[in-house]
Amino acid sequence: MKIKNDLILIKVLLLLSLWGGGVAVAQPVELVVNASAPGSVVQPDLWGIFFEDINFGADGGLYAELVKNRSFDFTNTPLMGWSPYGLVEVRKDGGPFDRNPNYVRLTGKRELLTGTGLINEGFRGIGIVEDESYRFSFYARTSENTPQRIQAELVDSKNNSAGRIVIEVSGKEWKKYQGEIVGRGTDTHCRLNVRLLSYGVTDLEHISLFPAKTWKGRENGLRSDIAQVLSDLKPKVFRFPGGCIVEGNDLATRYQWKNSVGAVENRPVNENRWNYEFSYKFFPDYFQSYGLGFYEYFLLAEDIGAEPLPVISVGFSCQFQRGREEVVPLNELQPYIDDALDLIDFANGPVTGKWGKLRAEMGHPAPFNLKYLAIGNEQWGPLYHTYLEAFMKQIRQKYPNIQIVGSSGPYSGGEEFERLWPQMKALKVDLVDEHYYATPEWFLNNARRYDNYDRNGPKVFAGEYAAHSVPIKKNSFEAAIAEAAFLTGIERNVDVVYLATYAPLLAHVDAWQWNPNLIWFDNLNIVRTPNYYVQQLYAHNSGTHNLPITRNGQIVAGDDRLYASAVIDTQKREIILKLVNTSPRARNINIRIDPLARGMNIKSEVKATFMSGELHRENTLQEPLAIVPQEEILKMGENNTLTVNVRWQSFNVYKINY
Ligand code: AHR
């Protein structure tokens, strides 16, 4: 009987030790942080963001314009997004903007019972907030001698009026008209009904609706809540505008930055690379208005304190569309190289030059101080290095201080990756852009990825990465904690990895092509994912140098399902530890700071921030705060040792002042 009871007790203890309910029975883990000699410098631009107009990230997302296809220039579908009624005709003779030639002619007739007008559906609806103001504008002319009346009315999802305005139009010349609509209710799915109230002929073009409150109050502005969430990350580098959209579905639809600057009405719309992705999500209404163009990207980078890192076409259309990609002949590459040189001029050149002058005319005479430029996105194959070399030769000659980013293809390893890296080394690019979308397991297994990288070659830009959970890809805590574990490896190797940006950044809940993404939104609300908070904790706690953190003299990179890294901020006098426990049980851990640097006096209060939870949990519009960082204050123990009971499945940041 005694033996049986003992066996039951042993089983219970065993179960308790395996279960993650906060009971820790194992011996404490001993970690040591050597604070006596700061290690490698953490590059000040290390943690950043990568923006692409995918998932309605720009048009329908960050760019605050609420009208889809405002200029009637979507290729082959000029009325995409609009439901016309009565007598509405699309014309292109004598419009006010030569690069967006289409406009609509509205004819009002007494006998038309429907009246004449057109309704815009917005980007899966228009988000309107009660008592907020909206700036409605358009260009118009009329052949009538008497003023014509245009009514713009917001209609909510229950078909009630959500605000309206009437504006009189007169004269045969094109003029801009503008007025304010005040929201009469809050609804994420309104529509905009633009109606001709008079009998006669009136032409309309560039029909636009913006919230009055945009980011920094700019007229051609950004959605302030989304821009704020980006700013809250405190990113230090900002890669844009893609991604595959840089390459385009074909060369004609590649991102051409010159089309994205100057008067917003005359930036020619371009088909979005993601218009046809994926076959099960057919979005034939995905165009780029370029309202959020390179000038706005540079401004945003400046606003949020990040270094701009534009990516430009190397002369290949998207290689992912295997068999359909287009490559410009080498002897026709010069215009592409000119685009790169002119871009540097636009960003940094004197206002007396062509491109610097345009920058000044747009409102920014001071240079944007561009220092990075990526040539090509995820390029590979036998031609890439030859094309890149042609760019580099001219850029190095004219702008020797620009740091050039080359590609290592779309995968984290494999034949192309192995071929590309030596080519990038031979070309002496400054940074190599690596992309990896892989399972959480891959991220955990790759925490040591950079430990043995060549210290003398180009530096790494982890330009696109995200853990993709299986079988369903989502922004679960499982993905976030795997990324947190992997990033300890980046902190340990800051002498190799100079920049890192998660991807993709934004996704509209009703119009996404890609999953997972860092931030989700609908037409009025935002969800920060657990992955967002992981990025934020790294970016806010970057330190100035890394420090060795070891267990029995070895790095902490997955043994016993623990991962750890440490940095010091020599200016703020902080030691910051990151600790990831991926096991389903809590752990007692002693972290000893030893030896101390000369004059270092460790303060007793330690700020701990942690994220913990079930692996399948995610933040949603309905439950946006399911997994968020929480804070507590701990006390340093004797011998500069911090004793912590690290929660099961948790990411922990400890800030120790000295
Ligand atoms: O981030 C989504 C896509 O993934 C990017 O456009 C491309 O570079 C990569 O394949």
Token pair, residue 494, equals 């800051």
CA separation for the pair 373, 334 (Å, rounded): 17
pLDDT at 47: 98
How much of the chain, in percent, has pLDDT values that exceed 70? 95
pLDDT at 3: 42
Q: What is the pLDDT of residue 4?
A: 46
Kindly give, in sequence order, each residue whose CB lies less than 8 Å from that of residue 285, ignoring residues fewer than 6 positions away. Answer: 68, 69, 74, 77, 80, 81, 275
Write the pLDDT tens digit of every residue in 397-442.
Answer: 999 999 999 999 999 999 999 999 999 999 999 999 999 999 999 9
* Same domain, residue pair 188 and 220: no
Say yes or no: 575 and 522 in one domain. no
Whose tokens are 């990756």? That residue is 417
What CATH number should be reported for the domain holding residue 308?
A: 3.20.20.80
Which residue is closest in CA terms to ligand 1's atom 5? 243
Atom of ligand 1 nearest to the CA of 320: 10
- CB of 248 shorter than 6 A to ligand 1: no
Per-residue pLDDT tens for 101-155?
999 999 999 999 999 999 999 999 999 999 999 999 999 999 999 999 999 999 9
What tokens does 368 get?
Answer: 């944007």
- Does 340 map to a domain? yes
Q: Are residues 189 and 317 in the same domain?
A: no
> Which residue of the set 378, 434, 483, 491 is catalytic?
378
Alpha helices in 131-260 (DSSP H): 224-232, 244-247
Is there a single domain that holds both residue 529 and residue 580? Answer: no
What is the residue with the minimal CA distance to atom 3 of ligand 1? 243
Residue 363 and residue 228 share a domain = yes
Residues 185 and 147 in one domain: yes
Band the pLDDT of 280: cuts 50, 70, 90: low
Distance 74 CA to ligand 1 centre (A): 24
CA nearest ligand 1 atom 9, residue: 243
pLDDT at 234 over 80: yes
The whole domain housing 107 covers 82-211
Chain segment 40-74, per-residue pLDDT in tens: 999 999 999 999 999 999 999 999 999 999 999 99
Is residue 8 scored above 70 in pLDDT?
no
Residue 547 has pLDDT above 90, yes or no: yes
Find the mean pLDDT for residues 307-325.
92
Q: Looking at the predicted structure, is the pLDDT value of residue 23 above 70?
A: no
Q: What is the mean pLDDT of residues 205-216?
A: 98
**In this structure, how many other beta carbons lie within 10 angstroms of the beta carbon of residue 641?**
16
Whether 71 is covered by a domain: the verdict is no
7 in a structural domain:
no
Residues paired with residue 464 on neighbouring β-strands, in sequence order: 435
Gap from CA of 437 to ligand 1 centroid (Å): 9
Domain endpoint, select from 500, 520, 540: 540
Average pLDDT over residues 261-270: 98
Residue 9 lies in a domain: no
Distance, in Å, from the CA atom of 227 to the CA atom of 304, rounded to the nearest integer, reads 9
Structural domain contains residue 447: yes
Residue 281 has pLDDT above 80, yes or no: no
Pairing of strands 307-312, 431-438: unpaired
In the DSSP assignment, the letter for residue 14 is H
Question: Do 186 and 58 share a structural domain?
Answer: no
Q: Please say if 378 is a catalytic residue.
A: yes
User: How many A from CA of 127 to the centre of ligand 1?
Assistant: 28
Please tell me whether residues 134 and 89 are part of one structural domain: yes
- In angstroms, the CA 291 to CA 471 distance is 37
Which pLDDT score, from 0 to 100, does residue 25 have?
Answer: 53
* Residue 321 confidence class, pLDDT cut points 50, 70, 90: confident
Query: What type of residue is 383?
Result: L
From 378, 379, 405, mutation site for ligand 1 pocket: most ligand atoms within 8 A of C-beta: 378
CA quadruple 317, 321, 322, 324: dihedral positive or negative?
negative
Which of these, 590, 654, 581, 656, lies nearest to 615 by C-alpha position?
Answer: 581
pLDDT > 90? residue 19 = no
DSSP-assigned states of every residue in 562-592: EEEEEEEETTTTEEEEEEEE-SSS-EEEEEE
Distance from C-alpha of 332 to C-alpha of 642, rounded to nearest angstrom: 63
Q: Is the peptide bond before 504 cis (omega within 30 degrees of 0)?
A: yes
The answer to whether the CB of 271 is under 6 A from ligand 1 is no
Q: What is the pLDDT of residues 576-619, one digit of tens each?
A: 999 999 999 999 999 999 999 988 999 999 999 999 999 999 99
Atom of ligand 1 nearest to the CA of 464: 1
Question: Does ligand 1 have an atom closer than 6 angstroms to the CB of 244?
Answer: yes
In three-state secondary structure terms, 6 is helix
- Determine the distance separating the centroid of ligand 1 and the alpha carbon of 477, expressed in angstroms: 22
pLDDT beyond 70 at 22: no
352 with 475, same domain?
A: yes
Give residues with Cβ within 8 angstroms of 563, minimum separation 6. Answer: 444, 447, 484, 485, 488, 489, 556, 557, 579, 580, 582
Which residue, of 211, 226, 254, is where some domain finishes?
A: 211
CA of 291 to the centre of ligand 1 (A): 22
Write the residue with the smallest CA distance to atom 1 of ligand 1: 504
Helix (H, G, I), strand (E, B) or coil at 313: coil
For residue 466, which atom of ligand 1 is closest to its CA? 1
The CA dihedral of 349, 355, 360, 365, to the nearest 10 degrees, is -10
Instruction: Give pLDDT, residue 21.
Output: 42
Taking the C-alpha atoms of residue 293 and residue 389, their distance in angstroms, rounded to an integer, is 27
pLDDT at residue number 282: 65
Whether pLDDT at 14 is above 90: no
Q: Does the residue 365 lie in any domain? A: yes
Give the range among 176-180, 275-279, 476-480 with minimum mean pLDDT: 275-279
Euclidean distance between CA atoms 248 and 251, whole angstroms: 6
C-alpha span between 39 and 421 (Å, rounded):
26
Please tell me whether residues 416 and 450 are part of one structural domain.
yes
Strand partners, 103: 91
Task: Clarify whether residues 519 and 651 are in a common domain.
Answer: no
Split at pLDDT 50, 70, 90, the class of 322 is confident
- The string of pLDDT tens digits covering residues 285-305 is 999 999 999 999 999 999 999
324 pLDDT band (50/70/90 cuts)?
A: confident
Substitution site in 49, 51, 52, 273 for ligand 1 pocket (most atoms within 8 Å of beta carbon): 52
Q: Check if 501 has its Cβ closer than 6 Å to any atom of ligand 1.
A: no
Nearest alpha carbon to residue 478 among 469, 488, 489: 469
Q: Which of the listed residues 486, 507, 540 is the one where a domain comes to its end?
A: 540
Helix, strand or coil, per DSSP, at residue 273? helix
The predicted pLDDT at position 459 comes to: 98
At 391, the amino acid letter reads F
Give me the CATH number covering residue 648.
Answer: 2.60.40.1180
Do residue 487 and residue 607 come from a single domain? no
* Per-residue model confidence (pLDDT) at position 239: 98
Contacts of 621 (CB under 8 A, 6+ apart): 509, 520, 522, 525, 527
Mean pLDDT value of segment 230-240: 98
**Interacting residues of 461 by C-beta distance below 8 A, sequence separation 6+:** 374, 405, 431, 432, 433, 434, 497, 498, 499, 500, 501
369 token code pair: 């101080």
**Bridge pairing between strands 574-581 and 562-569:** antiparallel
Q: What is the mean pLDDT of the chain?
A: 95
- How many angstroms separate the alpha carbon of residue 245 from the centre of ligand 1? 9
Helix and strand element counts for the chain (H, E): 11, 35
In the reported structure, the alpha carbon of residue 458 is separated from the centroid of ligand 1 by a whole-number distance in angstroms of 22
**Residue 35: inside a domain:** yes
d(CA 268, CA 289): 7
The answer on pLDDT for 12 being more than 50 is no
Instruction: Determine, yes or no, domain membership for 261.
Output: yes
Distance CA 223, CA 231 (A): 12
> Given the DSSP bridges, would you call strands 497-502 and 459-467 parallel, antiparallel or unpaired?
parallel
Q: Are 135 and 70 in contact (CB under 8 A)?
A: no
Identify residue 529 by its one-letter amino acid code.
T
Q: What is the pLDDT of residues 150-166, one digit of tens each?
A: 999 999 999 999 999 99
Q: How confident is the model at residue 7 (pLDDT cuts 50, 70, 90)?
A: very low
What domain count does the chain have?
3
Q: Which residue of 53, 56, 436, 437 sits with most ligand 1 atoms within 8 Å of its CB, as the best mutation to test the pocket?
A: 437
